[in-house]
Structure 1
Amino acid sequence: MASTFTTTHRVEFHETDLAGIVHFANFYRYMEVAEHEFLHSLGLSIMEKRPDGSTWGWPRVSAKCSFESPAFYQDVLEIRVTVERIGVKSLTINYEFWRDETRIARGQMKTVCCIFRPGEPMRSIEIPEAFTSQLEEHSES
């Protein structure tokens, strides 16, 4: 069974519209922040500079979010993060947003592990074993 990482976010005024409801685009920001916090909790990073001058990171190839109930200014949202799938080169992470007992939204992001070398196009690579071993505890697969 997959382990869930949980973090919270208090909705700030600038994230809402005139009715005090969170603008939908902010959920994508919340997912990215939760992803970074999740990886950080495992001692990992979304981006790593390599000694050879290259960098590897995780560009998004898809992101989606379905909304079930509005979130409002000053709500404290609980964001639950689980790894749906660890592929050879890609990672799929699910997000659930809760306010108390009410699920607000569900989201998902798929990322691909890539290497960036100066003067060369980005290239997908296999996820390093050190990364996958840290993620497996949180994976549904």
Structure 2
Amino acid sequence: MPQFIATRRVQFSETDMAGIVHFSNFYRWMEETEHEYYRSLGLSIMEANDDGTYLGWPRVSASCTFERPLTYDDEFEVRLDVERIGVKSINYVMEFWQEQRLAYGRLKTACCICGAHARIESIVIPDRYLAVIKESDELPLKGGQGGVA
């Protein structure tokens, strides 16, 4: 699978009293990058069905290891790689880069149908998602400028 890259800039509100990025933002940036990846493929992470249910991708697990700090106004890249496509789940590896790696993380999402009464059931990943994700294997992917002025 090709690497998807989103460029970001640290906003003041994302920093702590020490002037460095608060760790929780890395998790948000991983999710935002995943959303940009899906949009770049013409897909959505939340899709309404005619029967009132919707297809979604809740998190099964998330982790992040921090190696170097980011500070206000730093520009950086979030690099998404599809690590594994299972029958009902997708695993991603995310890396945060400037001139060197700053942090890395993992996300595992499950394809689910969410019912009208908050019932969630995992399902086999639909063929239309698999086809587009696997087809993107041949294309270099570049994301947007999230947070870049």
1:133 and 1:31 map into 2 onto residues whose CA distance is 23
AA paired with 2:131? S
Where do 5+ consecutive residues of structure 2 fail to align?
138-149
Tell me the TM-score normalised to structure 1 length.
0.92
1:119 and 1:78 map into 2 onto residues whose CA distance is 39
Aligned-pair identity (%): 53
After superposition, residues 1-141 of structure 1 pair within 5 angstroms as 2-99=1-98, 101-119=99-117, 121-136=119-134, 137-138=136-137
1:74 and 1:115 map into 2 onto residues whose CA distance is 39
2:106 and 2:42 map into 1 onto residues whose CA distance is 22
The structure 1 segments of at least 4 consecutive aligned residues displaced by more than 2 Å after TM superposition are none
CA RMSD, Structure 1 to Structure 2 (Å): 1.1
**Residue by residue, what CA displacement relative to the aligned partner does 1:107-127 show, whole Å, maximum 9, x if unpaired?**
110000010122362110000
Where do 5+ consecutive residues of structure 1 fail to align?
none
Tell me the TM-score normalised to structure 2 length.
0.88
2:131 and 2:118 map into 1 onto residues whose CA distance is 29
**Residue by residue, what CA displacement relative to the aligned partner does 1:44-72 show, whole Å, maximum 9, x if unpaired?**
10100011111010010100001110111
